[in-house]
Chains A and B, each alone.
Chain A
Amino acid sequence: MNPVVLDHITKTYENGKVLAASDVSFEVASGELFGLIGPDGAGKTSLFRILTTLLLPDKGNASVLGLDCNKDFEEIRRRIGYMPGRFSLYQDLTVKENLDFFATLFGSTLEENYSLIKDIYEQIKPFNNRRAGKLSGGMKQKLALCCALIHKPEVLFLDEPTTGVDVVSRKEFWDMLKTLKQQGITIVVSTPYMDEAMLCERIALIQTGKILTIDTPGKIIAAFPVPLYAVKAKDTYRLLTELRKRSEIASCFAFGDYVHITLKDNSNESQTDQLKQELIQAGHEQFEIKRIEPTIEDSFIQLMSQTYGR
């Protein structure tokens, strides 16, 4: 049996008015690095809380390590590691005090599983006597990860560990996750950053409580149904408004200084040449159009439109 199983989970708040999870099912295999990708308010945190036995679903069953999240919550709590979103530790305790506290709380010691956290801990060890509140965002996150790992959990749940953390620290954090994965720990991680999806083995894209798709990032990208083009011109805003008016364009979204478009009719390759000519004639400078590989963000947008008919 897979270590993490969600089976038709539905969860609402405020007497059914707010839908946090709508018929969500997925499984995470042993030793897998699984990502839950979606914007704020998509329902990621609710799913994490159900899996970590902190919330009961309205409908459906959840199990972790073969144990029922409702009945066997005490056993589950002993065997998992959890880093909640916005988890900020005890600001007024030092690094060492935080670690010792959480180690004891989970019935372990810093020394007992030292090999597991060694790589991460050594980076913050020089600040052992500094209060957690005085650490930088990246350091805090490392400390939090150490605290979550200190009892050698079999499954690790990380809810938005990289939110609000700068790029450098984010990169380091994902490197740490890869190392942990090599030690056989099953990891479920959530993030609102689409670009982090590529760093997971398998991902679920989630939006307003619904799973849009579940697969490896590569397969999700490969499943993009139509050719995707990137268009660029000097005046992006003008390009955007003019492209939106054109009848042959199916979708049109700004991606940085490019605009990604799909066409309604994909049988005729020469359409793009015509588009180019007409827009250059309309006075667009530095015009450029090229076929590109979709990113996860393209897929997300496409799946969102498909699911919600935007």
Chain B
Amino acid sequence: MADKVITCKNLTKKFGDFYAVHNISFDVSQGEIFGFLGANGAGKTTAMRILCGLSYPTSGEASVAGFDVYTQQERIKQNIGYMSQKFSLYENLTVLENITFFGGVYGVPAAQLKERSRQLIAKLGLTNEAKKLVASLPLGWKQKLAFSVAIFHEPKIVFLDEPTGGVDPVTRRQFWDMIYEAAANGITVFVTTHYMDEAEYCDRVTIMVDGKVEALDSPGNLKSRFDVTSMDEVFYRLARNAVRSGD
């Protein structure tokens, strides 16, 4: 087995009497595309915040990129990238300004920054758009750029929050091509989503219901276990009896 870059053991987060995350355990290997699924309110976001070093768990153990979530939050943050559909880039900065800004923030050495920015822009085919405002790009390009920026500082793990909701089928596939490529280069991809069609692309998925992990397997195995043809139906079987749902 490859290196474990994320390990969770009996991880729990309580808000008062409320178990947002209840005793979850899983491991994620290096280069894996790991789907973290659940309805709104199932506890996905809370769990992801812990793993990103933004909040402390109530009990249990977890480490990310080899660093402990209780004591080494700052080290964790240096080793991860993050992208969400809602916010990732500054719309009123140009493509180049966004890349250099985020590169700088995440500690890409100044000496390399210029050359690597140029390479990235060339690779994305945005040479002519480098000086244009991000706001003027089509949605699909924005997402590709956002992902590239999220892995620009070569993190060990990248967290993606509902990365492809609402884009057209072709753009979505181009986006997943990039994710596959990143994974093939050894970056671990952690996708949280409630869009089940995004789940189909993951190597393994966990499905969270009411703060607990209800299933953890590859999409193919889950589908055959429930004898259904899509992740949608797998999810429906597992989540229809959920008590909790929020926004």
Contacts and interface: CB of A to CB of B under 8 A. Distances in A.
- Check whether chain A touches chain B (CB < 8 angstroms): yes
Interface of A: 38-42, 136-138, 140, 163-164, 166-169, 171, 192-195, 207, 236-238, 240, 253-257, 297, 300-301, 304-305, 310
A103 B166 CA distance: 32
A210 to B, nearest CB: 12
B197 A304 contact: no
A42 B139 CA distance: 11
Given A254-B176, A256-B201, A166 B194 contact: yes
A237 B184 contact: yes
B166 A39 contact: yes
A39 B138 CA distance: 12
A300 B184 CA distance: 28
A254 B177 contact: yes
Given A257-B220, A304-B168, A166 B40 contact: yes
A240 B180 contact: yes
A256 B200 contact: yes
Interface of B: 39-41, 138-139, 165-171, 173, 176-177, 180-181, 183-184, 194, 196-197, 200-201, 218-220, 230-232, 235-236, 239-240, 242, 245-247
Residue of A163, A256, A304 with most partner-chain B CB within 10 A: A256
B197 to A, nearest CB: 7
A195 B197 contact: yes
Contact of B239 (A168, A195, A255, A300): A168
Contacts of A257: 200-201, 218-220
Contacts of B184: 237-238
Nearest to B171: A39
B181 A237 contact: yes
Nearest to A299: B169
A307 to B, nearest CB: 11
Residue of B180, B201, B230, B232 with most partner-chain A CB within 10 A: B180
B180 A168 contact: no
Contacts of A240: 177, 180
Contacts of A171: 236
A166 B183 contact: no
A253 B197 CA distance: 14
A64 to B, nearest CB: 27
